[in-house]
Structure 1
C-alpha cells in the first residue's frame, strides 16, 4: 500500500478559504477508482510551523498513485491548489495498510 500526504499553506488563510480547499480535495472521493482512501482537514493549532490544510490518501501501489496524478479529476483539483496555495509539501511512502 502507498500513502500520499500533502500539506498546503494557503495565500488566503481565512476559515472560509481553508474549508473551501478541504471541500475541493474531498470532491475527489469516488471519482478515481484507484484512490482507496481520502481524508482532508484544516489546521486547528495555528502554530508557526502549521500548514493550513492536510490531505491523506492511500493507494494499492505506486503505479496507482501515478495513475491518480494524471487523472482528469485530480488535474482539475490541482489547478485549484496551484492558484490558492502559498506553498505545499508532500511525502509518499510504502505502508502496511
Structure 2
C-alpha cells in the first residue's frame, strides 16, 4: 500500500474558505477507482507554522497513485487548489 500525504496552506484561512476547500477534496471520495482511502483534516491550532488542510490518501501501488494524479476529477481538484493556495503544497509518499 502507498500512502500519499499533502498539506495545504490557503490564502484565505477563514473557517468558511477552509471548509469549502475541504468539501472540494472530499468530493473525490468514491469517484476515483484507484483511490482506496481518503481522509481530510483541518487544522485546530491555527499557529503561524500550521497548514490549514491535510489530505491523506492510500493506493495499492505507485502506478495507481500515478493514475490518480491524471484522473479528470483530480485534475479539476488541482485547478481549484492552485487558485486557493498560498504558495505551494508539501507532500510525502511512503509505503505503508
- Shorter chain as denominator, the TM-score bin is over 0.9
Q: Give the distance between the partners of 1:94 and 1:14, measured in 2 at CA.
A: 34
Q: Give the distance between the partners of 1:18 and 1:81, measured in 2 at CA.
A: 11
Gaps of 5+ in 2: none
Q: How many pairs does the alignment contain?
A: 95
In the other structure, the counterpart of 2:66 is 66
Q: SS at 1:10's partner residue?
A: coil
CA-to-aligned-CA distance 1:18-68 (integer Å, 9 cap, x gap): 001110001000110000000101100112221001100000000000000
- Normalising to structure 2: TM-score of the pair? 0.96
Q: Give the distance between the partners of 2:16 and 2:90, measured in 1 at CA.
A: 22
Q: Give the distance between the partners of 1:39 and 1:4, measured in 2 at CA.
A: 11
Q: Give the distance between the partners of 2:3 and 2:60, measured in 1 at CA.
A: 9
Q: Give the distance between the partners of 1:26 and 1:92, measured in 2 at CA.
A: 19
What does 1:51-90 align with in structure 2 at a 5 Å threshold?
51-86=51-86, 87-90=88-91
In the other structure, the counterpart of 2:45 is 45
The 4+ residue runs of structure 1 with deviation greater than 4 A are: none
The CA deviation at 1:3 is 0.2
Gaps of 5+ in 1: none
Structure number having the greater strand percentage? 1
